């Protein structure tokens, strides 16, 4: 695998998307193989959607005060160099940027997504809940909590909606947790499922939580979108739910979508259909267990 | 002469031949098309083939498949999604362009003003086939030089702001001043709501360059938009020869050529479209001579026919010979231009392309301003780059 990374030949799958990655930087190779362990590799028969190279900006900067930059082959590159020890962040941002700007086959929501699969032996669709809202509202943390409590992880970053059937596609990437969230989640899940800490990033300390292996095994299976929530962590909250309907729900969903204007008409139609079909809630919570219980109950209710 | 990457050329001129490609081949080719900003166009062409069974039969025969009729559509998993994404992007770009032109029209509705659409908007108004899947970023319009101040004031009044000011540079700074004194356009204006950029030109080449064009002459020959489509009636476009020449000077005189594949594709489409009009080629050669744009025209015809099989009549190529550069220059350009226009795959290093791009970048500046001014300009840019590095 290290050799494939070196030669830019490592192709791996994230849900319906295939990425080809190259890096010659040993520290990044180690971090990458650590947080992406267990990801399905793509064979030669699969189309590659995204290409990314992440390497030192120059030979000098490989060794002295290392600086690393992602390269997706754009003429005007949107990427900035990062400190060598944060190279994995450059890779993660590079990949997210490409997915967010070039996957207009989906209507993309800036959101966390998890789904409930039918119990073994039972029929029925997988059912997804989409969690949108401002950065810092606690989406990632709640997604992480649910993903390790019997739900299948779709994404902590992007909800990929097929506008033709209103199903979401998985995009199970490692979950990036920041600052206080790290402590909350390491207490819950132990150290083993986490990457090493990345200190002094622009957003403080970051640790990546690996995607649960079941979500990787079933990473190709879409789920019907049944529930939409806008979660908000409020310290000491005893829990609160408010429902949004009609134009308000539409506007909130529109605000959460990344590429509504690029997808065009089909995006508008999908948003209208969604607000007609799904319940949309604002959800205030004071602890992880409380939030998980509330989401479980709302999903029961949405059936 | 080195050609474009073979598969990219195939996608551009005979996409039906790509049907049976493997996933690996498609992955590389789609990347190249994306880098060359032509993937949306390719996606539109492939979708059109799927809808037209007559073409499909032809495609099968071209591909050597005798069993026409029950051939499968491209069987590469994941490819359709990529093409759909590209197609949506192209459609959106076109819609945004016509909407933006609609908004600009509103600003000037009560004035008797000749606004000439340039580039993407002009191709849309004139119905040139290159508008399919064409991604436009900025909006380009042209007005007479003495209208410039009024147009700028009206746009500023209607919600556009200076792009440089938006980035924090005060007006009157070096860039702003540079534009106003030496360029053929105003500093870019951004719509504060939609973030779209409009470039207001008063001619098609910087007045400092080795070659300049007579703006009054261009404006004089501009023609009103006749089609009702896209709501562009009321605007003007350059006449056919001038529209073609504008694209040509943009790529081969004023631009840096690197990354300009899409422009050469535009030109090839115009060659096909305008070239069918009676007398077009004679008018084109004469007009280029009159406007002093013969040299860039020579390059365009040469590279369009060599790299994209542009159907330039032999007689026109012959006539354009009189604009040819000295042999040594031509040989150098033959070496550099195809390399600079060819996107390269991320995982295949191509040092030649990088060097060719750099050399042509320097050439573009050399053509744009006198040596002393160039030295000063590049020095300021370089100084700023060093300064920028320190503060990052």
Last residue of a domain, one of A43, A66, A101: A101
- Cα first-last separation, chain A: 44
Mean pLDDT of all residues belonging to chain A:
93
Nearest chain A residue (CA) to B24: A44
Residue A180 in domain = no
Pairs across A and B, CB distance < 8 A: 83
Most confident listed range (B165-169, B207-211, B338-342): B338-342
Q: Which of B24, B81, B345 sits opposite A16 (nearest CB)?
A: B81
Q: Which residue has the higher pLDDT, A133 or A29?
A: A29
Do both A41 and A154 map to the same domain?
A: no
Would you place residue B382 in the very low, low, confident or very high pLDDT band (cuts 50, 70, 90)? confident
Last residue of a domain, one of A79, A101, A123: A101
Q: Which residue has the higher pLDDT, A123 or B63?
A: A123
Residue B33 phi/psi, 5-degree rounding, is -65, -40
A289: containing domain: 107-173+211-302
Q: Is the pLDDT of residue B62 over 60?
A: no
- Global pTM value: 0.89
Q: What's the pLDDT tens digit per position in B213-250?
A: 788 999 999 999 998 888 899 999 999 999 999 999 99
Sheet of A67-71, strand order: A10-14, A17-22, A50-56, A67-71, A82-83
Helices within B108-162 (DSSP H only): 119-126, 148-157
The number of distinct structural domains making up chain B is 1
Provide mean pLDDT across the span A142-160.
Answer: 96
Q: Which of B22, B76, B346 sits opposite A53 (nearest CB)?
A: B346
Provide mean pLDDT across the span A270-287.
Answer: 94
In whole angstroms, give the CA distance from residue A295 to residue B11. Answer: 48
The number of distinct structural domains making up chain A is 2
In whole angstroms, give the CA distance from residue A113 to residue A130. Answer: 5
pLDDT at A136: 74
CA A35 remoteness from chain centre = 14
Do both A33 and A137 map to the same domain?
A: no
pLDDT at B367: 76
Residue B373 in domain = yes
pLDDT at B57: 53
Is residue B98 less than 8 Å (CB to CB) from chain A?
no
Do both A14 and A157 map to the same domain?
A: no
In whole angstroms, give the CA distance from residue A240 to residue A234. Answer: 10
pLDDT at B55: 54
Residue A190 in domain = no
Do both A97 and A113 map to the same domain?
A: no
pLDDT at B392: 32
Contacts of B346 in chain A (CB under 8 A): 8, 22, 51-53, 71-73
Residue A82 phi/psi, 5-degree rounding, is -125, 160
Q: Give Cβ neighbours of residue A3 (< 8 Å, ≥ 6 apart).
A: none
Residue B150 in domain = no
| E strand map for chain B | 116-117, 139-142, 160-162, 189-191, 197-201, 223-224, 236-237
pLDDT at B391: 35
Q: Could you give the ipTM of this predicted complex?
A: 0.92
Provide mean pLDDT across the span B57-77.
Answer: 52
Would you place residue B70 in the very low, low, confident or very high pLDDT band (cuts 50, 70, 90)? very low
pLDDT at A162: 96
Do both A62 and A128 map to the same domain?
A: no
Contacts of B80 in chain A (CB under 8 A): 105
Provide mean pLDDT across the span A270-297.
Answer: 94
Q: Is the pLDDT of residue A31 over 90?
A: yes
Q: Is the pLDDT of residue B64 over 50?
A: no
Residue A197 in domain = no
Residue A181 in domain = no
Do both A65 and A163 map to the same domain?
A: no
Do both A159 and A94 map to the same domain?
A: no
Q: Which residue has the higher pLDDT, A118 or A78?
A: A118
Residue A199 in domain = no
In whole angstroms, give the CA distance from residue A157 to residue B199. Answer: 36
Nearest Cα neighbor of B274 from B300, B307, B299, B296 is B300
Q: What's the pLDDT tens digit per position in A63-73?
A: 999 999 999 88
pLDDT at B67: 43
B53: containing domain: 6-144+202-391
Would you place residue B58 in the very low, low, confident or very high pLDDT band (cuts 50, 70, 90)? low
Would you place residue B380 in the very low, low, confident or very high pLDDT band (cuts 50, 70, 90)? confident
pLDDT at B168: 66
Residue A236 in domain = yes
Q: Is the pLDDT of residue A42 over 60?
A: yes
In whole angstroms, give the CA distance from residue B158 to residue B178. Answer: 25
Residue A192 in domain = no
Sheet of A204-209, strand order: A175-178, A204-209, A198-201
Residue B183 in domain = no
Q: Is the pLDDT of residue B385 over 70?
A: no
CA A74 remoteness from chain centre = 23
Find the angle CA(A233)-CA(A235)-CA(A240) to the nearest 5 degrees. Answer: 60
Q: Give Cβ neighbours of residue B39 (< 8 Å, ≥ 6 apart).
A: B30, B33, B83, B86, B133
Do both A233 and A277 map to the same domain?
A: yes
Which residue carries 């050439």 as its tokens? B363
Q: Which of A46, A104, A264 sits opposite B23 (nearest CB)?
A: A46
A175 bridge partner residues: A209
Do both A155 and A248 map to the same domain?
A: yes
pLDDT at B117: 96
Is residue B99 less than 8 Å (CB to CB) from chain A?
no
Residue B224 in domain = yes
């Amino acid at each position: 695998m290290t050799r494939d990374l070196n030669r830019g030949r490592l192709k791996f799958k994230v849900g319906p998307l295939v990425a080809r990655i190259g890096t010659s930087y040993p520290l990044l190779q180690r971090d990458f193989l650590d947080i992406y362990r267990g990801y399905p590799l793509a064979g030669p028969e699969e189309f590659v959607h995204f290409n990314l190279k992440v390497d030192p900006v120059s030979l000098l900067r490989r060794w002295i005060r290392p600086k690393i930059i992602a390269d997706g082959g754009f003429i005007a590159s949107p990427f900035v160099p990062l400190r060598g020890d944060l190279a994995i962040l450059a890779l993660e941002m590079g990949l997210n940027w490409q997915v967010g700007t070039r996957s207009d086959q989906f209507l993309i929501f800036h959101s966390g997504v998890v789904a409930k699969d039918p119990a073994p032996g039972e029929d029925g669709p997988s059912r997804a809940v989409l969690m949108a809202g401002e950065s810092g509202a606690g989406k990632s943390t709640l997604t992480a909590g649910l993903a390790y409590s019997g739900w299948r992880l779709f994404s902590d970053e992007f909800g990929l909606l097929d506008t033709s059937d209103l199903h979401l596609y998985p995009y199970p990437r490692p979950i990036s947790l920041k600052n206080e969230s790290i402590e909350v989640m390491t207490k819950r899940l132990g150290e083993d499922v986490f990457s090493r800490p990345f200190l002094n990033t622009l957003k403080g300390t970051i640790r990546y939580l690996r995607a649960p292996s079941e979500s990787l095994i079933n990473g190709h299976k879409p789920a019907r979108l049944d529930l939409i929530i806008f979660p908000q962590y409020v310290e000491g909250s005893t829990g609160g739910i408010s429902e949004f309907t009609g134009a308000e729900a539409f506007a909130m969903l529109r605000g959460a979508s990344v590429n509504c204007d690029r997808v065009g008409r089909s995006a508008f139609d999908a948003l209208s259909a969604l607000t007609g079909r799904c319940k949309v809630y604002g959800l205030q919570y004071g602890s992880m267990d409380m939030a998980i219980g509330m989401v479980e109950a709302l999903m029961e209710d949405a059936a | 002469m080195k050609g474009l990457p073979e598969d990219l050329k195939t996608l551009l001129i005979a996409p039906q031949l790509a049907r049976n490609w493997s996933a690996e081949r498609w992955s590389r080719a789609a990347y190249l098309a994306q880098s060359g900003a032509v993937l949306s166009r390719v996606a539109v062409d492939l979708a059109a083939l799927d809808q037209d069974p007559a073409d499909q039969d032809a495609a099968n025969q071209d591909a050597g498949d005798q069993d026409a009729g029950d051939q499968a559509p491209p069987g590469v998993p994941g490819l359709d999604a990529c093409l759909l994404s590209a197609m949506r992007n192209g459609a959106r770009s076109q819609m945004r362009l016509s909407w933006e032109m609609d908004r600009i029209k509103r600003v000037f509705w009560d004035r008797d003003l000749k606004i000439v659409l340039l580039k993407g908007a002009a191709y849309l108004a004139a119905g040139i086939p290159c508008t399919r899947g064409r991604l436009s970023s900025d909006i380009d319009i042209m007005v007479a030089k003495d209208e410039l101040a009024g147009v700028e004031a009206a746009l500023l009044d209607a919600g556009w702001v200076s792009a440089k000011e938006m980035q924090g540079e005060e007006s009157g700074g070096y860039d702003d001043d540079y534009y106003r004194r030496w360029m053929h356009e105003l500093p870019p204006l951004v719509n504060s709501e939609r973030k779209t950029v409009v470039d207001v030109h008063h001619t098609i080449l910087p007045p400092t360059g080795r070659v300049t064009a007579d703006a009054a002459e261009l404006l004089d020959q501009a023609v009103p938009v006749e089609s009702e489509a896209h709501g562009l009636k009321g605007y003007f476009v350059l006449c056919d020869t001038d529209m073609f020449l504008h694209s040509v000077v943009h790529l081969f005189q004023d631009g840096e050529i690197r990354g300009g594949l899409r422009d050469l594709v535009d030109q090839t489409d115009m060659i096909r479209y305008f070239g069918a009009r009676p007398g077009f080629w004679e008018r084109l050669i004469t007009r280029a001579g009159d406007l002093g744009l013969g040299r860039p025209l020579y390059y365009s015809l040469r590279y369009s026919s060599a790299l994209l099989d542009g159907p330039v009549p032999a007689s026109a190529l012959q006539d354009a010979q009189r604009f040819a550069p000295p042999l040594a220059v031509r040989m150098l350009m033959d070496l550099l231009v195809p390399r600079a226009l060819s996107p390269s795959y991320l995982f295949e290093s191509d040092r030649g392309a990088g060097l060719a791009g750099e050399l042509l970048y320097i050439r573009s500046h050399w053509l744009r301003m006198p040596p002393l001014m160039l030295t000063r300009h590049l020095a300021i840019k370089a100084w700023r780059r060093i300064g920028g590095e320190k503060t990052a």
